[in-house]
Amino acid sequence: MKAVGARLPRYDGIEHVTGRTTYVDDVRVPGTLWAKALRSPLHSATMSGLDVSPAEAMPGVHAVITAADVPLLEYGHLSALGIPADEPLLAKDEVRYKGQPIAIVAAEDEETAMAAVDAIEVDFDERPPLFDIRKAFDADAPKVHPWGNWYPHFEGEMDRRQIRKGSIDEAFDRADVIVQGVYRPAAIEHVPLETQVSLAVPEANGRLTVYSCTQALYFSMGVIAAHLQVPLNKLKVVGGTVGGGFGGKVDTASETMCALLAQKSGRPVKWRWTREEEFLCSSTRAPWHMEIADAVTKDGWILGRKMLTLHDSGAYARFSPYGLTKHSFHHTGAYTIPNLSFDGFVIFTNRVPTTAMRGFGVTSVSFATETHMSRVANVLGLDPYEVRLKNANRIGDTSPNRIVYTDPSTVSVVKALAGGMEVELAPEYAAMTRDPREGDLLPEHLVSQMADPEAH
């Protein structure tokens, strides 16, 4: 293996510096039409009287699509992971977030497409929106989904992702101090330099070629095929260099609409989102609300952790239950805590649906757990490196979801950080390794966990 460890140049490096790299918007197919979307101006409303005929009648407009044109309107992208469909490709009867696409126009040029969008008629009856995930369970909260504001399809039709391990009540009884914290990271936009863009080309043999900026080509191919109700071999999806994705180009947010417009018009159709659309309507990393309460001893052991997480999924589920599940597995961070009580909810609000972004579900909990470790050290008056090293994952410890650690790196990373920050660790801590716990590093509360991880 000659490549491992070598400093190889990018295979596309020379293309990048000579302007030859081809992104979707650089693909040139004669006769390509421009697409523009009619988007909901309101956060939450019922919709009626949608009339696209004024747009269709406009010179230079080749096709307009609405919910009625989609063979399978709702398709759950992660139905294979048990997350049922809940989101229409184009809005039908109601809108649940500002920017939700209602109709898409394909026209000779960008300006005609914009004018055609303006000509579409539709009526809205505004409803009060929900934005604060903490209010999701209030009796008087607006209902984003018919039953309410939480995802109800975790295994066993549970309303939450739940983890119970050991005995949390005992841990809280035995604790010297309870350390509490609330952590609320805000939504983050991916802001790739290349905005969302697709180009769909109808081929003479009845197939469709779709040039896509997707990060997940085969996945998007399945989504397009499902909405269009065509077999996979009717599609040729061409991926290529993505101008930045960071998780924001896994939603297959434009390809299916272009494919439908290409079918309906018989012409190639390109939809390139503007930067304003990208900021207003593209999915973001979710905002989160996390509450942690740790039962700790005076000398810095974390006996148990109670945690509540609310994950803001926006108006539809997309991949949020999956993200929350990953989040739950990591809620002890790089540390071993034997007694756990975790409840995590996927909450619906009238925001743009949220999605993956680098470290989906886990960046939030990493931020919360790391900040909380420092808080524990502060409250106890202990050194933050020492508290971390003491509770660090070691070989043979178990994770919240019963994975036995065989190769944990917490100890070496914390020690490298101390070195980099020129902090001298006390000898006892400098000598710590990730070897299986014994002696002082195996207090009573961890003994049972080490002996039989399956018991928890």
Partner 1 sequence: MKLTVNGIAHDVVSAPLATLLDVLREDLGITSPKAGCEQGGCGACTVLVDGEPQRACLTPAASLEGLEVTTVEGLGAPESLSPLQQAFTHHYAAQCGFCTSGMMLAAEGYLKRGGTDDREAIQEALAGHVCRCTGYVKIIDAVAAAARGDSFDLTVTAPSAGMTNLGGV
Partner 2 sequence: MTQGTEVLFPTSANEAIAQFGDGSGVTVIGGGTIVMPEITYGRMAPTKALLLSRAGLDTLEVDGASVTVGAALPIGRLAELAEDVTALAQCALNVADYEIRRQGTVGGNVCAGEGHDAPRGDLQGPFLALAAEACSVGADGERTEPLDDFLAHRAGRLLLDLRFEKPAASAFAAIDYPHTHEYTVLAVTGVRTTGGETRLAATGLAGYGTRLRSAEAASSDPEQAAAAALKDVTVGDDALASGWYRERTLPVLVRRVLSELEEAA
Smallest distance, partner 2 to C-beta of residue 55, A: 15
* Count of beta carbons in the 10 Å neighbourhood of residue 140: 6
| Residues forming the site for partner 2 (CB under 8 A) | 111, 114-115, 274, 276
- By CB under 8 A, the residues from 403 to 422 that bind partner 1 are 416-417, 419-420
DSSP output for 237-269? EE----S--TTTT-S--SHHHHHHHHHHHSS-E
Smallest distance, partner 1 to C-beta of residue 417, A: 7
| Residue 433 is a binding residue for partner 1 (CB under 8 A) | no
Provide the edge-to-edge strand list for the sheet that holds 94-95: 94-95, 45-51, 121-126
Q: Which of 124, 162, 241, 366 binds partner 1 (CB under 8 A)?
A: 241
| Residue 43 is a binding residue for partner 1 (CB under 8 A) | no
| Residue 19 is a binding residue for partner 1 (CB under 8 A) | yes
Instruction: Determine contact, residues 262/201, Cβ cutoff 8 Å.
Output: yes
Given partner 2, partner 1, none, residue 244, with its beta carbon under 5 to 8 Å by kind, binds partner 1
**Based on CB atoms, which residue is closest to partner 1, 374 or 409?**
409
**Based on CB atoms, which residue is closest to partner 2, 111 or 169?**
111
Q: Which of 2, 7, 49, 140 binds partner 1 (CB under 8 A)?
A: 7
Phi-psi category of residue 178: left, alpha or beta, with phi > 0 → left and psi -120 to 50 → alpha: beta
Applying CB under 8 A, the site for partner 1 has a residue count of 38
Smallest distance, partner 1 to C-beta of residue 422, A: 12
Closest CA to 66 of 98, 119, 102, 112: 102
Provide the mask over 139-178, with x wherever binding to partner 1 is found by CB under 8 A and - wherever it is not: ----------------------------------------
Smallest distance, partner 2 to C-beta of residue 115, A: 8
| Residue 48 is a binding residue for partner 1 (CB under 8 A) | no
Which range of residues in 160-168, 169-177, 192-200, 324-332 is near partner 1 by CB under 8 A? 192-200
In the block, tokens 């140049």 appear at 9
| Residue 17 is a binding residue for partner 1 (CB under 8 A) | yes
Report how far residue 186's alpha carbon sits from residue 321's, in angstroms, rounded to the nearest whole number: 18
Which pair of structure tokens corresponds to residue 88? 């229409």
Smallest distance, partner 2 to C-beta of residue 274, A: 7
Closest CA to 314 of 449, 131, 143: 131
**3-class DSSP assignment, residue 433:** coil
**Based on CB atoms, which residue is closest to partner 2, 111 or 424?**
111
Given partner 2, partner 1, none, residue 114, with its beta carbon under 5 to 8 Å by kind, binds partner 2
**Based on CB atoms, which residue is closest to partner 1, 158 or 416?**
416
Q: Is the dihedral of CA 424, 425, 430, 436 positive or negative?
A: negative
Show Cβ contacts of residue 429 under 8 Å, excluding neighbours closer than 6 positions: 385, 386, 389, 390
Residue 141 identity? A
Q: Which of 62, 96, 270, 272 binds partner 1 (CB under 8 A)?
A: 272
Residues shown for the chain: 456
Report how far residue 404's alpha carbon sits from residue 236's, in angstroms, rounded to the nearest whole number: 43
Closest CA to 215 of 80, 118, 65, 360: 360
Interface with partner 1 by CB under 8 A: which residues? 6-10, 12-23, 25-26, 28, 190-195, 241-244, 246, 272, 274-275, 416-417, 419-420
